[in-house]
């Protein structure tokens, strides 16, 4: 009975070439080039073919384990380490942690197979998504910066839920600035923008969503500028709003990546507060950019030099509003009266517009025709309640609940009063 020999496609190609050599149709040099082997290796294949026939061309490694296969002991060590410390990590991130923290260097696919075999990892079924037209990246670093706020349980159950403000470059996918804040507010974006300007300079444009921080709620032909939009205009930075979350997909995707990688790295480092998290971000950003950033198509940095002083930046990034100066050189703001100290210029200042700059640390500056004025406060009133939006409402309600759920101590005098027949405590 004839023995059946199974050959792969590559082995069949070798067979056809060697048969042509045997028939004298090809030289050994030409045949070696056709199968990408040396002439010496071709002669070995000819000897095996003449001795064993087609069976001589079958790989001797077929059916045997790979020489690079991990030993059972090593596989068990890796699986035990992943199950004890990286139970909820994805295979790629778990593989990086094994290399960085335990000096175990294997491929990500090996880790994926080990986690799948032991039931630690299960591949997610991808749902069908709507197709969106692709947009090419910008060609230069600093031409377009996508920004967004990502509310999430960044410290899991070790700390409060907060928001991460993210600035990412469109050309390189490089994280440019990150900051943790309790809520997504104008102040949080102003602070992150200032960090960005100090580290990189002024970008050409900033790409955001249509939240009220970036676009006024009133829908008119000329809606004006928000506080953040006014600061960008003063810095000569173009403000662009996206029509949909998919339009700024680069920052949306990096938010999902950060919610996985950053959360788990802070867990491993025992970080549970906003201050500690912000201190950790600098180190994290450097490693993240080394791992994921791409080179720009054109190696020219489009950032421009920051040509403003610290005082000018303080004024630009404050909350500004306009007031009319009275005959007594007074302006009113937040139920307080500010009197300008400039009696000699009373006639020129009366009726002029003053710009009230409320800094986020509570300071007040007053500008008249670009000049910062001295003043004194001679009347104080009750501060108005701040207006909340959908992104800050939950934080405000949580604070109110905490204030109203306070329970007096057992030693409080009110607890010691006798209770009357009607169920009330007698304070007589």
Tens digits of residue pLDDT in 263-308: 999 999 999 999 999 999 999 999 999 999 999 999 999 999 998 9
Residues 6+ apart with CB under 8 A from 236: 202, 304
* Distances from the Cα of 132 to the Cα of 82, 142, 211, 249, 254, angstroms: 37, 25, 22, 10, 18
Per-residue pLDDT tens over the stretch 38-79: 989 888 888 888 888 877 777 777 777 777 778 888 888 898
* 117 or 180: which leads in pLDDT: 180
Write out pLDDT tens, residues 221-272: 556 789 999 999 999 999 998 887 777 888 999 999 999 999 999 999 999 9
Say which residues have a Cβ less than 8 Å from residue 83's Cβ, sequence separation at least 6. 118, 120
How far apart (Å, rounded) are the C-alpha atoms in residues 116 and 113?
A: 5
Tell me the mean pLDDT in the region 355-375: 91
Strand-pairing partners, residue 416, are: none
Maximum Cα interatomic distance, the chain, rounded to a whole number of Å: 124
Q: Indicate if the pLDDT at residue 220 is higher than 50.
A: no
pLDDT at 248: 82
The answer to whether the CB of 337 falls within 8 A of the CB of 377 is yes
Residues 6+ apart with CB under 8 A from 333: 321, 323, 356, 358, 364
Query: When comparing pLDDT for 367 and 393, which is higher?
Result: 367
* Contacts (Cβ under 8 Å, ≥6 apart) of 294: 172, 173
Q: What is the pLDDT of residue 1?
A: 46
- State how far the Cα of 142 lies from the Cα of 129, in Å rounded to an integer: 31
Model confidence at 117: pLDDT above 70: yes
d(CA 103, CA 97) in angstroms, rounded, equals: 9
Q: Of 99, 136, 92, whose CA–CA distance to 294 is shortest?
A: 136
* Residue 148 pLDDT grade (very low, low, confident, very high; cuts 50, 70, 90): very high
DSSP E strands in 258-352: the ranges are 319-324, 330-333, 336-340
Give the position of tokens 């175990």. Answer: 104
With a cut of 60, say whether residue 424 has pLDDT above it.
no
CB neighbours of residue 84 within 10 Å: 8
Tell whether the model's pLDDT for residue 381 goes beyond 60. no
At 80-111, the pLDDT tens digits run 889 888 888 888 988 989 998 999 888 888 88
DSSP 225: -
Where b means 16+ CB within 10 Å and e means fewer, 7-46 reads eeeeeeebbebbeebeeeebeeeebbeeeebeeeebeebb
DSSP 413: G
Q: List b or e across 364-390, with b for residues whose CB sees 16 or more CB atoms inside 10 angstroms.
A: ebbbbeeeebebeeeeeeeeeeeeeee
* Helix/strand/coil for 323: strand
Tell how strand 205-208 and strand 144-152 pair up.
parallel
Q: Cα Rg for the chain, rounded, in angstroms?
A: 34
**Residue 121's pLDDT is what?**
84
């Amino acid at each position: 009975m004839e023995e059946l020999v199974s050959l792969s496609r590559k082995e069949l190609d070798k067979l056809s070439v060697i048969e042509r050599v045997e028939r004298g149709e090809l030289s050994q040099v030409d045949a070696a080039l056709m199968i990408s082997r040396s002439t010496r290796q071709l002669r070995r294949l000819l000897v095996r073919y003449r001795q064993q026939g087609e069976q001589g061309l079958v790989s001797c490694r077929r059916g045997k384990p790979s020489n690079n296969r991990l030993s059972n002991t090593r596989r068990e060590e890796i699986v035990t380490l992943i199950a004890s410390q990286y139970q909820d990590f994805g295979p790629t991130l778990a593989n990086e942690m094994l290399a960085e923290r335990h000096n175990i260097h294997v491929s990500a696919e090996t880790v994926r197979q080990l986690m799948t075999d032991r039931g630690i990892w299960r591949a997610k079924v991808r749902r069908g998504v709507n197709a969106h037209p692709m947009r090419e990246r910008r060609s230069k670093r600093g031409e377009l910066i996508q920004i967004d706020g990502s509310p999430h349980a960044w410290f899991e159950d070790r700390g409060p839920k907060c928001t991460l403000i993210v600035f990412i470059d469109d050309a390189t996918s490089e994280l440019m600035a990150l900051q943790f804040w309790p809520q997504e507010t104008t102040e949080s974006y102003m602070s992150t923008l200032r960090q960005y300007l100090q580290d990189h300079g002024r970008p050409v444009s900033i790409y955001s969503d249509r939240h009220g921080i970036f676009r006024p709620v009133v829908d008119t032909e000329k809606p004006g500028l928000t506080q953040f939009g006014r600061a960008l205009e003063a810095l000569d930075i173009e403000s662009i709003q996206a029509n949909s979350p998919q339009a700024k997909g680069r920052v949306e995707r990096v938010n999902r990546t950060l919610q996985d990688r950053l959360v788990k790295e802070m867990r491993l480092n025992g970080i549970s507060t906003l201050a500690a998290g912000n201190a950790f971000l600098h180190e994290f950003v450097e490693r993240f950019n080394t791992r994921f950033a791409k080179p720009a198509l054109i190696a020219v940095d489009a950032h421009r030099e920051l040509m403003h002083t610290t005082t000018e930046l303080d004024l630009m990034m404050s909350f500004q509003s306009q007031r009319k100066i009275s005959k007594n050189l007074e302006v009113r703001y937040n139920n307080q009266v500010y009197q300008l100290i400039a009696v000699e210029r009373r006639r020129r200042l009366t009726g002029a517009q003053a710009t009230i700059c409320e800094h986020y640390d509570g300071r007040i500056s007053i500008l008249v025709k670009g000049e910062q004025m001295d003043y004194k406060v001679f009347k104080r009133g009750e501060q108005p309640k701040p207006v909340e939006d959908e992104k800050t409402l939950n934080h405000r309600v949580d604070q109110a609940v905490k204030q109203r759920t306070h329970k007096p101590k057992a030693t409080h005098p009110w607890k010691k009063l006798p209770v009357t027949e009607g169920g009330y405590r007698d304070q007589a």
